[in-house]
Every structure is written in structure tokens, then in C-alpha cells.
Amino acid sequence: MTKGLFGGLSAFWKWQARRVGTGGAAHFPADYDLTVTLEELRGMELCVCILAAGQGKRMNSDLPKVLHPIGGRPMIGHVMAAAARLTTSRPIIIHGHGGAHLQDFYAGHDLTWVAQESQLGTGHAMLQALPVLPPGSLVLILYGDVPLLSAATLGRLVDAAGPDGFSLLTVMLDEPTGYGRILRNEHARIVGIVEHKDASPDELQLREVNTGIMAVRSEYLQRWLPALRSDNAQGEYYLTDCVAMAAAEGIAVAGVAAANAMEVTGVNDRGQQALLERAFQSMQAEELMRGGVTLRDPARLDIRGELVCGRDVYLDVNIVFEGKVILGDGVRIGPNCFIRDSVLGAGVEVLANTVLEQATIGSNSKIGPFARIRPETILGTDVHIGNFVEVKKSTIDAGSKVNHLSYVGDAEIGRSVNVGAGTITCNYDGAKKHRTVIEDDAFIGSDTQLVAPVRVGKGATVAAGTTVTEDVEPGRLVISRVRQKTIAGYQRPRKDK
């Protein structure tokens, strides 16, 4: 979608939101490109500032608060991803406690870093960023510990800034204790915000609260931020005092309501982090089900990355997905599985308690239960990997089976090979890894040790209990058992009573 289309489409989606009465937050399609250079809308660049200087004392952690994860991604990573849907300009990150750690984590990213040496409030934080704000820009101010805010809501907030260039995100709460209340005049225009500790008894009855998230012209900030005062109960410089300054100058502040409270909830302690984690997972589950995925229990699913599903996928309980996982049509995943950075073809079945990492699984293959597929493994179509089998850095071609209690590492297994129970590829000599090659249609008997490097030829048979140390020619039988002896009258040793 071209950027030039944004204005018309934005108007359409706002009309659609009014028509269905949702406020618009849930009706941007998943593939809708929100990226926009605001020169095309109102002649302004969009500049994103993310406040990330808080120490997060209640987290009781050495890790900066904004690096604590939700859904496997740092909280600030969610915020940056949402902002990136609106603009490609370089975000400004205002850091303080743990700033060096934060910069190390995002080394190599195109970010502008601003230090807030003393944490004296949100207004003081933005004051530090004044020298790097692009002149004539619209500044979108976000918080690194508010991870669930959607790009759709931010798009509405930016649109609402209008010619006056000032919009504020609010939310209605049944229990607003602790939050700054929105003050409106008799014409329902926003004229100020009063913090909870500074509010009068009547103001404490208000349910509309400030989220602190706003879009405001950079020239307003250049004028207002140096004039902020700290004569309040907290002794801090409040960014939200800019609302009253706007009202005093006759500048309209547009109020935009968030779709729900969870979207604008911040994290201050481990309990809130856990609450938002479950909210995030619930959002992922709902999106999957809307796409046709069957979830045995939506409350028992964890997606810590990106999950892409085909049609008629079935997911049982307690599955954890990490990194990027792609599931083809008709894939079925049993309970208690862990899958990371893997691609599963159509019709694959993964049975209970199985682990897959950085693997590619061909269509109609069956894995588990209690199997482990380690990185750099590629399975062809209709491959069977059974219970208590571990496969590492190996390729197994179509129709082959490793069904029981075996280890296959650094191996290349051809088509229609049967690997018996208890088979081990002895791939490590204490210093180097060596490869095992098993060609098409070979049969490996149970309790076999294949001492790499070694090759078993096409159609060869390895008898049960054999240790293979030399290559086996195609079509041959190899056997290395010790001849069985029977001793009559043997008595086992007995313990003294």
C-alpha cells in the first residue's frame, strides 16, 4: 500500500469505526500498512519519543524495567514495533537507570539516545530531548513500560492531533485510584489534568484518566517544557501540565479514548508483568481462533515470538512457541510441547511432550511422544520419529523411521530407512564431530552403534546388537555379535542372610 493512499484510507477506517461503534481500535486489518510520512497529511514529520528512564524498583531486578519481556519480547520492543507501523523515522529513547544495559541490548539499531541523569518526572525527561526534536515535527510521546498499545490506537491518536497539533490518549476506569484525572470544561473540551495526590474530592470522582500518551507539536514543547514547575505533591515536573498550558493559549486538545484499559496499562511490578503477559497471550489466542485455529484451551498457550498457522491447525494445551514458527495446513500439536524457530509442513503431527528447535519438518511426518529434535535437523515427508528419540543436525529423507529410544546426530539418512530401537550414532570422538551416512532402504537393527565416520550402503542390513566401525557395502548383511554360550548348573552369587 502506498503512503499517498493513507489519508483516504484513514478516513475510511474512522468512518467504519463510527459505523460499528468500536472507536476504531479493532478494525484495522492485519495487513493494513499504517506507515505514513505526515508531510502528506499536515506537512509535519512524525517524531517518536519513548520514555524509558524509570528504575522500576518494585521489579526487584538488576535488569532495566523496560527490558523485562512480554510474550518473549522486551516491553520497549513492543512499543517500538507499534511505533514503526506509523513512521520510519528514528525513535528517540530517553534512558536513565540501566541505560548502558539498554543501549547494549539494542546495539546496531537505528535509535537516538538521550540521557535523563536525574528522574524528576515525565516533563523533565522530555526536557532532555528538546535539543534533538526535529523542528516542525509532531512528537508522539510513548512509554517503554506500556507494551500492549496497538498501532491502530496510535494511528487514531496521530490523526486526532489535527490542525492544532495536540491530542491526548485517555481511558475510562471503574477504579481510577492513583491516576491523573481528565478535566473538561462545560463544552467537554480537555482543559487540564490533575494528579491523584493533588485532586480535590470532586475531582477524585472522575473516571476518565490520563494515560500520559500524547501527540504534540514540537514547537509547543519547546515553549512549554522549560516553563514547567515542580510545586506539586510529588515534587516532579509533569508533562501533563502542558494540557493546561494549551488551554490557556486557546489550543484545543483532542481526547482519544483507548479501546480498553489493558492496552494502556503499564508495568511497575512482577504482578503487573504477569497480568499483561496473560492479556497478551489472550490477544494472540483470539487472533489465532479468528484465523481458524482450534485451541484446546486458549488460556494455556504461550507465544513468545511469531506464530504463523495454515488452515485447520489444532493446538492442545500447554504449548510454548518461541522465535518464528510456521505451521502448515492441518498440523496437530499435542500437549506440553516446546517449539522454537521451526517450520512444520502440512499434516505434521507432533505428539505430547516433544521439543523441536530450529528444525524443518516435512509434510505428513509424525514426531513423539517425548522426542527431541535439535537444531539443523531436516526431516522429509512422512518421516516417523518416535518416543525418546533425539535427532541433532541430521537429514532424514522421506518415509524413514526412527521410532524408539535412539540418538541420531550429524547423520544423513536416506529414503525408507528403518532405524531400530536403541540405535546410536557415535559421532563425537572427544574432539571432533563425524558424520554417519545411511543410504536408501537400509535396515538398522536394534541396539546398534554406528561409529562415525561410517557409511551404510543402499539396501544393507545391520543385525541387532552390532557395532559398525567400517563402511557396509550396499545389499550386505553385517553382524558383530559375540557367539552366545550356555553354561549348565550356574548359580548366581547370593547375599548372606
Question: Does 158 lie in the same domain as 258?
Answer: yes
Q: Is residue 298 within a helix (H) or strand (E), and if so which, with residue range?
A: none
Residues in the chain, how many? 497
What percentage of the chain carries pLDDT values higher than 90?
79
Q: Which residue has the higher pLDDT, 10 or 414?
A: 414
Cα separation, 449 vs 465, in Å, equals 8
Determine, yes or no, domain membership for 488: no
Question: Does 326 lie in the same domain as 213?
Answer: no
pLDDT tens for residues 417-434? 999 999 999 999 999 999
Instruction: Assign residue 201 the CATH number of its domain.
Output: 3.90.550.10
pLDDT tens for residues 421-472? 999 999 999 999 999 999 999 999 999 999 999 999 999 999 999 999 999 9
CA 7 remoteness from chain centre: 30
Determine, yes or no, domain membership for 275: no
CA proximity to 93, closest of 127, 144, 139 = 144
Question: Does 175 lie in the same domain as 37?
Answer: yes
pLDDT at 101 over 80: yes
pLDDT at 355 over 80: yes
The whole-number pLDDT of residue 13 equals: 31
Cα separation, 481 vs 478, in Å, equals 10
Question: Does 303 lie in the same domain as 260?
Answer: no
Question: Does 368 lie in the same domain as 301?
Answer: yes
Over the chain, what is the mean pLDDT? Answer: 90
Residue 495: C-alpha distances to residues 484, 489, 490, 492 (Å): 28, 19, 16, 10
Question: Does 305 lie in the same domain as 227?
Answer: no
Q: Is residue 152 within a helix (H) or strand (E), and if so which, with residue range?
A: helix 151-160
Question: Does 314 lie in the same domain as 189?
Answer: no
For 359-388, what is the mean pLDDT?
Answer: 98
Determine, yes or no, domain membership for 201: yes
pLDDT tens for residues 330-342? 999 999 999 999 9
Full domain range(s) for residue 81: 3-264
CA proximity to 390, closest of 414, 365, 357 = 357
For 358-373, what is the mean pLDDT?
Answer: 98
Q: CB of 177 within 8 A of CB of 199?
A: no
- Is 404 a residue of the active site? yes
What percentage of the chain carries pLDDT values higher than 70?
91
Q: CB of 181 within 8 A of CB of 132?
A: no
pLDDT at 3 over 90: no
Residue 63: C-alpha distances to residues 82, 87, 432 (Å): 23, 29, 38
Determine, yes or no, domain membership for 273: no
Q: Which residue has the higher pLDDT, 111 or 10?
A: 111
**Where among 264, 283, 315 does a domain terminate?**
264
Q: CB of 182 within 8 A of CB of 167?
A: no
Query: Given pLDDT bands bounded at 50, 70 and 90, which one contains residue 54?
Result: confident
pLDDT at 25 over 60: no
Q: If you search the block for the grid coordinates 526536557, which residue do you land on?
A: 127
Query: Given pLDDT bands bounded at 50, 70 and 90, which one contains residue 396?
Result: very high
The whole-number pLDDT of residue 339 equals: 98
pLDDT tens for residues 136-165? 999 999 999 999 999 999 999 999 998 889
**Where among 264, 284, 302 does a domain terminate?**
264
The whole-number pLDDT of residue 178 equals: 87
Q: CB of 100 within 8 A of CB of 52?
A: no
Instruction: Assign residue 415 the CATH number of its domain.
Output: 2.160.10.10
Question: Does 68 lie in the same domain as 27?
Answer: yes
Cα separation, 249 vs 451, in Å, equals 83
Query: Given pLDDT bands bounded at 50, 70 and 90, which one contains residue 6?
Result: very low
pLDDT tens for residues 170-228? 999 999 998 889 999 888 889 888 988 889 999 999 999 999 999 999 999 999 999 99
Query: Given pLDDT bands bounded at 50, 70 and 90, which one contains residue 15?
Result: very low
Q: If you search the block for the grid coordinates 494528579, which residue do you land on?
A: 195
The model carries a pTM of 0.84
Question: Does 259 lie in the same domain as 398?
Answer: no
The whole-number pLDDT of residue 14 equals: 34
Determine, yes or no, domain membership for 47: yes
Count of other CB atoms within 10 angstroms of residue 35: 14
Three cell numbers at 355? 521439543
Count of other CB atoms within 10 angstroms of residue 479: 12
Question: Does 200 lie in the same domain as 123?
Answer: yes
Domain count of the fold of the chain: 2
User: What is the per-residue DSSP string for 225-263?
Assistant: GGG----STT----TTHHHHHHHHTT---EEEE-S-GGG
Determine, yes or no, domain membership for 271: no
pLDDT at 386 over 90: yes
Question: Does 166 lie in the same domain as 49?
Answer: yes
pLDDT tens for residues 61-92? 999 999 999 999 999 999 999 999 999 999 99
Question: Does 138 lie in the same domain as 202?
Answer: yes
Determine, yes or no, domain membership for 81: yes
The whole-number pLDDT of residue 43 equals: 61
Determine, yes or no, domain membership for 286: no
Three cell numbers at 408? 541420531
- Residue of 27, 101, 404, 434 marked catalytic: 404
The whole-number pLDDT of residue 22 equals: 28
For 320-345, what is the mean pLDDT?
Answer: 98
